Protein backbone atom coordinates (compact mmCIF):
# COMPACT_ATOMS: atom_id res chain seq x y z
CA UNK A 1 0.00 0.00 0.00
CA UNK A 2 2.84 2.42 0.75
CA UNK A 3 4.17 1.94 -2.79
CA UNK A 4 0.74 2.62 -4.28
CA UNK A 5 0.38 5.78 -2.21
CA UNK A 6 3.80 7.03 -3.40
CA UNK A 7 2.81 6.29 -7.00
CA UNK A 8 -0.51 8.12 -6.69
CA UNK A 9 1.17 11.12 -5.06
CA UNK A 10 3.73 11.36 -7.90
CA UNK A 11 1.03 11.04 -10.56
CA UNK A 12 -1.01 13.81 -8.90
CA UNK A 13 2.07 16.05 -9.02
CA UNK A 14 2.22 15.51 -12.80
CA UNK A 15 -1.47 16.22 -13.45
CA UNK A 16 -3.15 19.63 -13.65
CA UNK A 17 -6.79 20.67 -13.15
CA UNK A 18 -7.30 21.35 -16.88
CA UNK A 19 -5.86 18.02 -18.04
CA UNK A 20 -7.72 15.43 -20.06
CA UNK A 21 -6.47 12.00 -18.95
CA UNK A 22 -6.79 8.51 -20.41
CA UNK A 23 -6.09 5.40 -18.37
CA UNK A 24 -5.45 2.16 -20.25
CA UNK A 25 -6.09 -1.14 -18.50
CA UNK A 26 -8.02 0.41 -15.62
CA UNK A 27 -9.37 -2.90 -14.29
CA UNK A 28 -12.08 -2.19 -11.73
CA UNK A 29 -11.33 1.54 -11.67
CA UNK A 30 -9.47 1.82 -8.38
CA UNK A 31 -6.81 4.24 -9.67
CA UNK A 32 -9.29 6.26 -11.74
CA UNK A 33 -11.53 6.78 -8.72
CA UNK A 34 -8.53 8.05 -6.76
CA UNK A 35 -7.19 10.46 -9.41
CA UNK A 36 -10.19 11.77 -11.38
CA UNK A 37 -10.81 14.66 -8.99
CA UNK A 38 -7.42 16.15 -9.94
CA UNK A 39 -8.24 16.73 -13.63
CA UNK A 40 -10.90 18.12 -15.96
CA UNK A 41 -11.78 14.80 -17.59
CA UNK A 42 -10.69 11.22 -17.06
CA UNK A 43 -11.52 8.33 -19.39
CA UNK A 44 -10.64 4.94 -17.90
CA UNK A 45 -10.63 1.98 -20.29
CA UNK A 46 -10.14 -1.75 -20.13
CA UNK A 47 -10.47 -4.59 -22.62
CA UNK A 48 -12.68 -6.52 -20.17
CA UNK A 49 -16.40 -5.71 -20.14
CA UNK A 50 -16.64 -7.35 -16.70
CA UNK A 51 -13.98 -5.03 -15.24
CA UNK A 52 -15.70 -1.99 -16.73
CA UNK A 53 -19.06 -3.11 -15.29
CA UNK A 54 -17.51 -3.33 -11.80
CA UNK A 55 -15.91 0.11 -12.23
CA UNK A 56 -19.23 1.61 -13.31
CA UNK A 57 -20.92 0.08 -10.27
CA UNK A 58 -18.33 1.76 -8.05
CA UNK A 59 -18.92 5.09 -9.78
CA UNK A 60 -22.67 4.75 -9.11
CA UNK A 61 -21.99 4.97 -5.36
CA UNK A 62 -23.63 8.21 -4.12
CA UNK A 63 -20.58 8.97 -1.95
CA UNK A 64 -18.51 9.58 -5.07
CA UNK A 65 -21.26 10.92 -7.31
CA UNK A 66 -19.34 14.17 -7.78
CA UNK A 67 -16.87 12.29 -9.99
CA UNK A 68 -19.51 11.44 -12.62
CA UNK A 69 -19.03 14.84 -14.26
CA UNK A 70 -15.39 14.16 -15.04
CA UNK A 71 -14.89 10.37 -14.94
CA UNK A 72 -16.17 7.80 -17.40
CA UNK A 73 -15.40 4.14 -17.99
CA UNK A 74 -15.39 2.44 -21.40
CA UNK A 75 -14.44 -0.92 -22.82
CA UNK A 76 -11.73 -0.12 -25.38
CA UNK A 77 -8.13 -0.69 -26.41
CA UNK A 78 -5.45 1.88 -27.26
CA UNK A 79 -5.75 0.87 -30.91
CA UNK A 80 -9.50 1.49 -30.99
CA UNK A 81 -9.09 4.88 -29.33
CA UNK A 82 -6.23 5.97 -31.60
CA UNK A 83 -8.61 5.99 -34.57
CA UNK A 84 -10.64 8.80 -32.95
CA UNK A 85 -9.56 12.44 -32.94
CA UNK A 86 -9.44 12.91 -29.15
CA UNK A 87 -5.99 13.64 -27.74
CA UNK A 88 -4.92 13.58 -24.09
CA UNK A 89 -2.56 15.53 -21.85
CA UNK A 90 -1.62 12.36 -19.99
CA UNK A 91 -2.05 8.65 -20.51
CA UNK A 92 -1.69 6.27 -17.58
CA UNK A 93 -0.95 2.58 -17.82
CA UNK A 94 -0.52 0.71 -14.54
CA UNK A 95 0.08 -3.05 -14.68
CA UNK A 96 -0.70 -2.71 -18.38
CA UNK A 97 2.15 -2.77 -20.89
CA UNK A 98 3.32 -6.31 -20.13
CA UNK A 99 -0.22 -7.56 -20.91
CA UNK A 100 -1.11 -5.32 -23.88
CA UNK A 101 0.44 -7.40 -26.65
CA UNK A 102 2.81 -5.97 -29.27
CA UNK A 103 4.48 -3.24 -27.22
CA UNK A 104 5.80 -1.25 -30.18
CA UNK A 105 2.29 -1.07 -31.66
CA UNK A 106 0.74 -0.17 -28.29
CA UNK A 107 3.35 2.55 -27.68
CA UNK A 108 2.73 3.93 -31.19
CA UNK A 109 -0.98 4.14 -30.38
CA UNK A 110 -0.18 5.90 -27.12
CA UNK A 111 1.93 8.43 -29.03
CA UNK A 112 -0.97 9.03 -31.40
CA UNK A 113 -3.33 9.58 -28.46
CA UNK A 114 -1.10 12.14 -26.72
CA UNK A 115 -0.99 15.87 -27.30
CA UNK A 116 2.46 17.39 -27.96
CA UNK A 117 4.43 17.42 -24.67
CA UNK A 118 1.88 14.95 -23.28
CA UNK A 119 2.92 12.48 -20.60
CA UNK A 120 2.82 8.70 -20.59
CA UNK A 121 2.99 7.43 -17.01
CA UNK A 122 3.49 3.73 -16.47
CA UNK A 123 4.14 1.30 -13.66
CA UNK A 124 4.75 -2.00 -15.41
CA UNK A 125 5.72 -5.33 -13.85
CA UNK A 126 9.03 -6.36 -15.38
CA UNK A 127 8.75 -10.13 -15.52
CA UNK A 128 12.30 -10.28 -16.89
CA UNK A 129 13.58 -8.92 -13.57
CA UNK A 130 11.60 -11.40 -11.47
CA UNK A 131 12.66 -14.73 -10.09
CA UNK A 132 13.33 -17.12 -13.01
CA UNK A 133 10.82 -19.58 -11.52
CA UNK A 134 8.05 -17.03 -12.09
CA UNK A 135 9.06 -16.66 -15.75
CA UNK A 136 9.00 -20.46 -16.12
CA UNK A 137 5.61 -20.71 -14.40
CA UNK A 138 3.85 -18.31 -16.77
CA UNK A 139 3.44 -20.80 -19.67
CA UNK A 140 2.10 -23.41 -17.23
CA UNK A 141 -0.30 -20.87 -15.74
CA UNK A 142 -1.46 -20.02 -19.28
CA UNK A 143 -2.33 -23.67 -19.95
CA UNK A 144 -4.30 -23.77 -16.68
CA UNK A 145 -6.15 -20.57 -17.63
CA UNK A 146 -4.53 -18.60 -14.79
CA UNK A 147 -2.39 -16.29 -16.93
CA UNK A 148 -3.19 -14.18 -20.01
CA UNK A 149 -2.37 -15.45 -23.48
CA UNK A 150 0.38 -12.90 -23.90
CA UNK A 151 2.81 -11.59 -21.31
CA UNK A 152 5.77 -9.53 -22.50
CA UNK A 153 8.72 -10.42 -20.27
CA UNK A 154 10.21 -6.92 -20.04
CA UNK A 155 13.24 -6.23 -17.92
CA UNK A 156 13.42 -2.68 -16.58
CA UNK A 157 16.19 -1.99 -19.11
CA UNK A 158 14.26 -3.38 -22.08
CA UNK A 159 11.09 -1.54 -21.03
CA UNK A 160 12.89 1.78 -20.92
CA UNK A 161 14.56 1.00 -24.26
CA UNK A 162 11.15 0.24 -25.87
CA UNK A 163 9.65 3.49 -24.57
CA UNK A 164 12.62 5.49 -25.90
CA UNK A 165 12.47 3.64 -29.25
CA UNK A 166 8.82 4.71 -29.55
CA UNK A 167 10.02 8.33 -29.52
CA UNK A 168 9.47 9.27 -25.89
CA UNK A 169 11.86 11.12 -23.61
CA UNK A 170 12.13 9.49 -20.18
CA UNK A 171 11.68 12.16 -17.50
CA UNK A 172 11.61 9.88 -14.47
CA UNK A 173 12.33 6.25 -13.65
CA UNK A 174 11.76 5.41 -9.98
CA UNK A 175 10.85 2.53 -7.69
CA UNK A 176 7.94 3.05 -5.31
CA UNK A 177 7.56 -0.41 -3.81
CA UNK A 178 7.99 -0.95 -0.13
CA UNK A 179 9.74 -4.28 -0.57
CA UNK A 180 13.47 -4.72 -1.09
CA UNK A 181 13.24 -5.27 -4.83
CA UNK A 182 10.45 -3.56 -6.74
CA UNK A 183 10.12 -5.06 -10.22
CA UNK A 184 7.62 -2.40 -11.34
CA UNK A 185 9.45 0.76 -12.39
CA UNK A 186 7.42 3.97 -12.28
CA UNK A 187 8.22 5.69 -15.56
CA UNK A 188 7.19 9.15 -16.67
CA UNK A 189 7.82 9.69 -20.39
CA UNK A 190 7.04 12.73 -22.51
CA UNK A 191 6.15 13.29 -26.14
CA UNK A 192 8.60 15.57 -27.91
* Helix pair angle (103-113, 156-165), 10° resolution: 50
Closest CA to 21 of 83, 94, 113, 102: 113
Q: What is the pLDDT of residue 129?
A: 58
145: domain CATH number is 3.40.50.150
Q: 91: which strand partners? A: 22, 120
CA atoms of 176 and 169, how far apart (whole Å): 20
Q: Provide CB contacts within 8 A for 62, sequence distance 6+.
A: none
Q: Which residue numbers in the chain have pLDDT < 70? A: 1, 98-99, 101, 126-149, 151-154, 176-183
Q: What is the CA radius of gyration of the chain?
A: 16
Q: What is the pLDDT of residue 49?
A: 93
Q: How many separate domains does the chain show?
A: 1
Q: Name the helix (H) or strand (E) containing 20.
A: strand 20-24
Q: Name the helix (H) or strand (E) containing 88.
A: strand 88-94
Phi, psi of 10 (to 5 degrees): -65, -40
Q: Are 33 and 53 in contact (CB under 8 A)?
A: no
Walk across the sheet containing 71-75 and list its strands. 71-75, 41-46, 20-24, 88-94, 114-123, 186-190, 169-174
Q: What is the pLDDT of residue 137?
A: 58
Q: What is the pLDDT of residue 132?
A: 61
Q: Provide CB contacts within 8 A for 20, sequence distance 6+.
A: 39, 40, 41, 42, 43, 86, 87, 88, 89
pLDDT, one tens digit per residue, over 53-66 is 999 999 988 888 78
Q: What is the pLDDT of residue 92?
A: 95
pLDDT, one tens digit per residue, over 77-87 is 998 999 888 99
Q: What is the pTM of this model?
A: 0.84
Q: Which domain holds residue 125?
A: 2-190
What's the residue count for the chain? Answer: 192
Q: What is the pLDDT of residue 14?
A: 95
Closest CA to 41 of 73, 4, 13: 73
Amino acid sequence: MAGLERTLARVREKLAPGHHVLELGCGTGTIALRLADAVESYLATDISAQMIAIAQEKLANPKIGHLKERLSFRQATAGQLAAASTRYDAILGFNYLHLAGDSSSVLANIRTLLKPKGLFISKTPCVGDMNPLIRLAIPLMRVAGKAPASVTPFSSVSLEREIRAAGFEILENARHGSERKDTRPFIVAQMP
